[in-house]
Amino acid sequence: MAGNRDRRFCSSWIPRGVLLLLWAGWVRCFAADPGGGTSIFNPASTPAAATRDLAYFVLGITGAIFLVVGSLLAYVIFRFRQRSQDNIAEPPQVYGSNQVELAWTVIPVLIVVVLFLATARMIFAIQDAPKPQSALDITVVGHQFWWEFRYPKFGFVTANELHVPTSNPTDPTPTYLTLLSADVDHSFWVPRLSGKTDLIPNHPNSLWIDPGTPGVYLGQCAQFCGTQHAKMLLRVYVQSPADFEAWAHAQQQAAANSASVAEGRKVFETQACINCHTVKGTVATGRFGPDLTHLMSRDTLASGAALNTPENLRAWIKNPDDFKPGSLMPAMKLSDQQLDQLTAYLATLR
Amino acid sequence: MADSSIPIGGSLDVTSHGRSTPTAIEWLHEWVVTVDHKKLGILYVVYAIFFLLVGGVEALLIRLQLAAPHNHFISPQTFNRLFTMHGTTMVFLVGMPFVFGFANYLVPLMVGARDMAFPRLNAFSFWMTAFGGLLLYYSFIGGSGLYGMGSAPDVGWWAYAPLTLRAFTPGHSTDYWALSLIVSGFGTVGAAVNIIATSLSMRCKGMTLLKMPLFVWLNLVVAGMVLVTITPLTAAQVMLVIDRYLGGHFFDTQAGGSAVVWMHFFWIFGHPEVYVLVLPAFAIANEIVPVFSRKAIFGYPAMVAASVGIAFISMTVWAHHMFTVGMTSFGNAFFTLSTMLVGIPTGIKIFNWLATMWGGKIRFATPMLFCTAFLIQFLVAGLTGIMLSAAPWNWQLHNSYFVIAHFHYVLVGAIVFCIFAGIYYWYPKVTGRLLNETLGKWHFWLFAIGFHVTFDFMHIPGLMGMPRSIYTYEPGRGWETWNLIVSIGGAIQGIATLIFAFNLFWSYFRGKRAGNDPWDAWTLEWSTSSPPPAYNFPVEPEVLSRRPLWDLKHPDDPDWRYE
């Protein structure tokens, strides 16, 4: 066709602009998390990164299939639409074609073979990865609607906010989580660190992570477990080995015992609190609810339902349903004075 | 178009209309006691449309709550009931009744039979299905008060154990879920028996199995699947009731039972179930795409083989719903492979439809608009299914909004679109009047736009880590804007559906008269009057090819020369 315009695709600005916009949109949505994001395309740990690589591969193949078949469909719709009302003769009837049908059977089979082999390789790489001696073991117990974290090597128990050390690729110290449940099915999902694995009662599971960069990584329960499934949030604090050791050492200590909050401690120990909660070094050894020994070392209350401030703490104790309607902690109908004393006591449990 | 007088037995309605108009009670009685497959088909479809609206309202309430983070429009308890009821309603009280409604009306007509093989079983099946649904909705009646007493089930439509045991869900809500589905399950199995018996034993002269319309083939395959797939669900629900009331511990993990066994039972039902829902959508497309492209279906034998292949392979993929429960790597790999394999016959069908349209003269009346959108949407749905089949990627996507987007792309984008197409296509046969084409186009475009606004963008929060079944979500994770967009699309679909409901009603009284064959189609139902007489055909038809009416309209170029 005549024309001075250079018709090569490379010189056309519009497709380039569109591609640039799409790429920028992708990065903005998924890959550039300023911090605290939960995108599966912004991995911070090997299982999540491996999954992302597989995802790009699968996306590439399925995207190509979509472009090919979609373009054919678009072409058919435009090229073969009935244009004139007068031309009512039926088109030639074609009942089939052995060659064409064979081709479009064989090609999908080959695509499936390629996809399956790539995927299978990734399954074995992640699931059956050999566990190094230096791995840190943590037991996670799912409850309605909070997370219990047991550190057997250190001998303490904490709740809702998981602390793990960073792992160096040259000298890996991954964290292996053993996943148990005290009641119904739950699922541990921190997208930037790993795919999810379920916590199923009577069926121990395990997952591993090896984050390299310190920071806070967010997630939440991903298997419907009852009324407050939505607020069973997760915070994973990845710390440098030194910081992690310091944190663990602090968690190992028994609870602070200040005389100034003796009345509050008495309220705690004579109301029903000790039936559900543990405070190490006291008579409180309940295991139905979170361990409160170092409650104030956590940033949030009620597995992320509220920030951990004295006001929120008091309001939570007064009526948990204000924050998390349907949570299994009852309102204890305490008087204002009891609430003030109790909050003052709990505020000392760093 | 063609309202030709076709010299095939049955085109004249010779019923005597001398009787006076029946009273209201007589009219109602006729519908309640009927064993006529056409009336039962209409009852099924009307029931399904009613619950489509109810389920749609449930969805709109869900979307209102999720339009903003930390929203307080609905309590968590009510939200959990809403998504449980939305899912259960759409699968069992909308999807299944549509499947059996269409099959009931059309299968006997398409094979040239007078009625289904077992008309009274047919009626029994409808009423069991209907009463099962009413039992489920009866659960809403009952006070709030002690948690779980007398209110709707709130354990998810998948009802995982041990959450469903009395220790965690006291009261009767779960019992309504289990019992209502056991009841309607009997109806489902009865309808399947009828479809199998009718298509195997009651075909008219000359109609071998390989001359049956593809609509009948797909419903036959679906009926076979139903016989195998409903039983695990019923068994699981009986075991659940035994656990809850008779001291059983099948799923009671505190006493050594297994939560995973519930999952296996449920998904061995649940996965073939979604093929039970989608194959009839293919059945509808198999009739509409050729007629509106003016060409025979491309590759009929391959379409039959692919349908049977899908039925068998779909029985081997169920644990792709369980990639995160801790199966071995070998188990995960197996189910990845089987799931990818089921994509092959499914893909082949898309190619066959494309090839049918290729070289045709496509008329984009409303039924074909819906079918064309179905083709594009089903392609996307299948591809996101392939993404989900890759187990490691599934470990991220499972139970996220990506999964919800994928299965709604199939359930709405493929199945509901084909159901709409089928209603526009066969409404003239059933009522004698065409649905209004202008309203039809408004319905189509609004619904398609709303569908894409909702379900295209719904994939994104899933990829950004948003799980499902949550009544609210945290701000600052990048989910808010997408959820708002998704909710707006829901409202658009609601408006489109109202236009559709209005069209159904208005056209019944004011629609253009259709005649026998308004679309110039080729299968036997178009040879009868619209609506057909009670006995369908006064004389048993005799066919020579897959398109008996094409042969009659084109005596110089009949199909039987080429098949």
Give the per-residue pLDDT at A176. 98
Q: What is the dihedral of CA B479, B481, B485, B487, to 10 degrees?
A: 60
Query: How many other C-beta atoms are found inside a 10 Å radius of the C-beta of residue B96?
Result: 27
Q: Where do runs of H (alpha helix) occur along B390-479?
A: 391-397, 401-408, 417-431, 437-457, 459-463
Please provide residue A143's backbone torsions phi and psi, each rounded to the nearest 5 degrees.
-130, 165
The structure tokens listed for A46 are 């090997």
DSSP B520: -
Rounded average pLDDT over A129-141: 96
Contact B361 A198 (CB under 8 A): no
Rounded to a whole number, what is the distance in Å from the CA of B490 to chain A's nearest CA?
22
Instruction: Read off the pLDDT band of A3 (50, 70, 90).
Output: very low
For the stretch A196-244, pLDDT in tens is 999 999 999 999 999 999 999 999 999 999 999 999 999 999 999 999 9
Q: Measure in Å the smallest separation between the Cα of B108 and chain A Cα atoms.
A: 25
Phi/psi at B359 (5° precision): 80, 10
d(CA A165, CA A154): 14
Selection from B267, B232, B302, B281 nearest residue B382 by Cα: B281
Query: What is the spatial distance between Cα B490 and Cα B456, in angstroms, rounded to a whole number?
Result: 12
The predicted pLDDT at position B256 comes to 95
**What would the CATH number be for the domain defined by A259-346?**
2.60.40.420
Domain boundaries, chain B: 27-561
Which of A36, A69, A229 minimises the CB distance to B470?
A229
Q: Is B523 helix (H, G, I), strand (E, B) or coil?
A: coil
Taking an 8 Å cut-off on Cβ atoms, the answer to whether A37 and B477 are in contact is yes
Q: Please judge whether B396 and A87 are an interchain contact, meaning their C-beta atoms are less than 8 angstroms apart.
A: no
Q: What angle do CA B86, B87, B93 make, to 5 degrees?
A: 85
Q: How far are the Cα atoms of A36, B273, B328, B504, B532 from residue B411, in angstroms, in the given order? A: 34, 12, 31, 22, 31
Q: What does the block give as tokens for A327?
A: 């949570």
- CB B300 to CB A95 under 8 A? yes
Task: Determine the distance in angstroms separating the CA of B251 from the nearest CA of chain A, rounded to an integer.
Answer: 10
- What is the structure's pLDDT at A2? 42
What single-letter amino acid sits at A47? P
Q: What is the CATH number of domain A12-83+92-127?
A: 1.10.287.90
User: Pseudo-torsion of CA B36, B42, B48, B51, nearest 10°?
Assistant: -110
What's the pLDDT score for residue B33? 96
| A158, amino acid identity | T
Chain B CB contacts of A54 under 8 Å are 390, 392-393
Query: What value, to the nearest 5°, has the Cα angle with vertex A92 and ends A88 and A96?
Result: 140
Q: How large a percentage of chain A has pLDDT more than 70?
A: 90
Nearest to B420 by CA among B102, B86, B85: B102
CA distances (Å), origin A250, targets A217, A279, B427 = 22, 14, 74
Chain A positions in Cβ-Cβ contact with residue B301 (cut-off 8 Å):
96
The residue behind tokens 């309001």 is A315
Within 8 A of A228 by CB-CB distance, chain B residues are: 76
Contact A105 B344 (CB under 8 A): yes
Work out whether strand A233-239 and strand A215-221 pair parallel, antiparallel, or are unpaired: antiparallel
User: Could you count the other beta carbons within 10 Å of the beta carbon of residue A31?
Assistant: 14
Fold for A136-252, please state it. Immunoglobulin-like (2.60.40)
User: Can you give the pTM of this predicted structure?
Assistant: 0.94
Residue B374 tokens, joined: 């179905």
d(CA B373, CA A239): 51
Tell me the residue length of chain A: 350
Q: Between chains, do B302 and A197 touch, taking CB under 8 Å as contact?
A: no
Alpha-carbon distance A249 to B188, whole Å? 62
**Both ends of chain A: CA-CA distance in Å?**
79
Q: What are phi and psi of B314, to 5 degrees?
A: -65, -15
Residue whose C-alpha is closest to residue A224's, from B483, B69, B165, B154: B154
Domain ranges of chain A: 12-83+92-127, 136-252, 259-346
> How far is the C-alpha of B377 from the C-alpha of B413, rounded, in Å?
6
Query: What residues of chain B lie within 8 A of the CB of A77, using their CB?
Result: 357, 362, 372
| Cβ–Cβ gap A95/B168 under 8 Å | no
* Backbone φ, ψ for residue A238 (5° rounding): -95, 125
Model confidence at A11: pLDDT above 60: no
Q: Which two tokens stand for residue B510?
A: 């004011």
C-alpha B397/C-alpha A39 separation (Å) is 11
pLDDT tens profile A72-107: 999 999 999 998 776 678 999 999 999 999 999 999
Tell me what pLDDT residue B117 has. 98
The two structure tokens encoding residue A216: 């806070």
- What is the ipTM score, two decimals? 0.93
> Are B390 and A119 in contact (CB < 8 Å)?
yes
CB distance A155 to A139 below 8 Å:
no
Q: What are phi and psi of A199, to 5 degrees?
A: -105, 110
Distance from CA of B68 to the nearest CA of A (A): 14
Is A325 in Cβ contact with B460 (below 8 Å)?
A: no
Beta-carbon neighbour count of residue A30 at 10 Å? Answer: 18
How many other C-beta atoms are found inside a 10 Å radius of the C-beta of residue B353? Answer: 27
Backbone angles phi, psi at B215, to 5 degrees: -55, -45
**Element containing residue A199 per DSSP (H, E):** strand A197-199
> pLDDT at position B100, please?
98
Q: Mean pLDDT, consecutive 10-residue segments, chain B of 563 residues?
A: 48 56 92 97 98 98 98 95 97 98 98 98 98 93 54 94 94 92 97 98 97 97 97 97 97 96 98 97 98 97 97 97 97 98 96 97 97 98 98 98 98 98 98 98 98 98 97 95 98 98 97 96 96 96 96 94 85
In terms of CA atoms, which chain B residue is nearest residue A116? B337
Per the prediction, chain A carries an average pLDDT of 92
Q: Please state the φ and ψ torsions of residue A224, each to the nearest 5 degrees.
A: -50, 125
Can A12-83+92-127 and A259-346 be said to share one CATH topology? no
* Closest partner CB to A222 (pick from B293, B467, B472): B467
Sequence-distant (6+) residues with CB within 8 A of B404 are B458, B462, B468
* Residue A271, pLDDT above cutoff 70: yes
Count the helix, strand and coil residues of chain A and give each as a percent rounded to the nearest 5: 40, 20, 40
Name B386's Cβ contacts closer than 8 Å, sequence gap at least 6.
A58, A62, A115, B340, B343
CATH number of B27-561: 1.20.210.10
Of B260, B393, B398, the CB nearest to A200: B260
* Beta-ladder partners of A151: A156
Please give the backbone phi and psi of residue B131, each rounded to the nearest 5 degrees, phi first. -70, -35
Q: How far is B145 from chain A (nearest CA, A)?
A: 13
